[in-house]
Amino acid sequence: MISIGIDLGTTNCALAYTDAGGVSLAAIPQLVSANEVQAETLLPSFLYIPGANDFPPGTTALPWNQAPKYVTGKLAQRRGAEVSSRLVASAKSWLSHPAADRTAAILPWKAAEGIPKVSPVEASAEYLAHLKAAWDAEHPEAPFAEQQVLITVPASFDAVARDLTQRAALQAGYPAVTMLEEPQAAFYAWLERHPDWRERVRPGDLVLVVDIGGGTTDFTLIAVTERGGELELERVAVGEHILLGGDNIDLALAHQAAAELTARNIRIDAFQMQALWSNCRIAKERLLGPDAPEEVPVTILGKGSSLIGGTIRTKLTRAQVEDVIAGFFPETDSETMPERTRRAALQEMGLPYASDPAVTRHLARFLRQQAAAAQSGFVRRGASGLACPSHILFNGGVLHADSVRQRLLQVLDAWLAAEGFGPVQPLTGEDLMHSVARGAAYYGAARQGKGIRIRGGIAKSYYVGVETAMPAVPGMPAPLKALAVAQFGTEEGSTTPVPGREFGLIVDEPAEFRFFCSAARKDDAPGTMIEDNLYELEELAPVEVHLTGEPGVVPVSFESEITETGVLQLWCAARDGRRWKLEYNLRG
């Protein structure tokens, strides 16, 4: 079975797969202009909703679809730069927006009246469906539906965003998929490229993965440990969801370009600003890519009736782009946290971007506050408590710029010096645009015993409350017992049956599940019942659900699964084959 890794990115998607030679990148046929299909290693995450007269009939045909409803990929990105009101972008960021109805047709955001819209889930499904169809067209001997498929998500995605990603995959006709965090995937890509990794790191080392993509910034810490004389890897800390990335930089460039136009007495409206934002994104990618030119022209359509006469022109230079990017990475000390700006009581609905654009301040908070909560004793710390990485791995398109990488190293080295440590060592040699897909494919092979897996065993044992069956007594609630469902150290990505007797599950009425945990009780195997010592357990926030089905109490047995994204899934299985799933985010 082939392992297929998919990077469902905010700005670009990629697909990699395992073969006899290791991990390879897939060619993704897509429209690059009307009537022209070309295979690329990246599928831009853009969807264009054509109007009746946008393209002549037949000019958007794909090898597997002669009349697609939408245009996806490079042509969508190019056409959308001209007609931004029909362009869907940053669907992945919307997928994680808790204040939006992510299953409703809301994109393109602020589109003109009468333009059809799609939901963030539908847009994501379109990208995934394109990748599936492209694979089947290029590999008819190995149908996509018969392979092991892994999709990466930001480490900070919540349970809802992960579920919606699963829903998009299901809508795209995917088989059952496994989710993997993007920073972990990036590290797996480094492992795949460096079979001699044990000679490059040693026990006690701490690797910081910095992943800055189109829409998000993610931080992860991975510790190098030793067991039985063998080096092992353990993920010890994951950062929060930070909506800060390439989109912010593109907007800053657009505002700078708009200011230059204003200085020439050229004023643009909101729709032209959207087009300028899209064109600055394209220009930035060219200026940060390999063999980049010194400058790139940027054009948008004017308001006149003449297509040529109404064109507005400006340009971006490589130095200009690097200067703007550097503004997102100011020099600061490790005590300075992200600023909390005073905000207006009423705000326009939109993506909840981070209020502080300084990536270095968000990194300081991660190393000082979030990493401080790590349960592992393998986190290298300074005298002030700051987590002090020995190595750093860069990932994401923003970090193509050498000046950005150097600025991050400069800031981090200053923090380490203040804590008495030497400079951080970069782990080099990675393909920043494809590493997440490559790493996901490698991880799929590792799950089959063909590679190294990063340990991420849970730091506590977890229990679910079971109400005791006894006669009702006025003023006295029924005593509660605690059933162990996940043991300390259980590896993420593993499934465990919970042995023992059946329990009654309340169906078709509101019910509350009470969960508990313990960092001290490490030997409670699944199925262990705690009756008298509940005071030793820490009660977590309850989960309120309304399980559908025939009303009544259904005898069920349990099965627990710890997903690769840190979610405890407790499956309740009835004798007749019915199953209900409860989820608890262990990193919440």
DSSP, residue by residue, 206-227: EEEEEEE-SS-EEEEEEEEEEE
pLDDT of residue 44: 95
pLDDT of residue 24: 95
User: What class does CATH assign to 246-326?
Assistant: alpha beta
Cα–Cα distance list, 157 to 61, 100, 181, 325 (Å): 35, 15, 9, 25
312-317: long-range contacts (C-beta < 8 A, 24 or more apart)?
A: 312/261, 312/266, 312/268, 312/272, 314/257, 314/260, 314/261, 316/253, 316/257, 316/280, 316/283, 316/284, 316/287, 317/287
Q: Is 100 exposed, middle or buried (0-12, 13-18, 19+ CB in 10 A)?
A: buried
pLDDT tens digits along 95-112: 888 888 999 999 998 787
- What percentage of the chain exceeds 90 in pLDDT? 54
Which amino acid is present at 337? M
What is the arrangement of strands in the sheet containing 552-562, beginning at the earlier edge strand?
494-507, 552-562, 567-574, 579-585
Domain(s) labelled CATH 3.30.420.40 in the chain stretch across 3-180
Q: Give CA–CA dist 30/74, Å, rounded.
A: 7
pLDDT of residue 341: 64
Work out whether strand 217-227 and strand 206-212 pair parallel, antiparallel, or are unpaired.
Answer: antiparallel
The vertex-283 CA angle with 189 and 55, nearest 5°, equals 100
Q: Give CA–CA dist 131/227, Å, rounded.
A: 40
- The architecture in CATH of the region 3-180 reads 2-Layer Sandwich (3.30)
Domain(s) labelled CATH 3.90.640.10 in the chain stretch across 246-326
How many C-beta atoms surround the C-beta of residue 105 within 10 A?
12
pLDDT of residue 346: 46
pLDDT of residue 306: 45
Low-confidence ranges of the chain (pLDDT < 70): 303-310, 341-350, 352, 373-377, 429-430, 455-456, 469-473, 475-477, 587-588
Q: Is 197 exposed, middle or buried (0-12, 13-18, 19+ CB in 10 A)?
A: middle
3-state SS of 346-406? CCCCCCCCCCCCCHHHHHHHHHHHHHHHCCCCCCCECCCCCECCCEEEEECHHHHCHHHHH
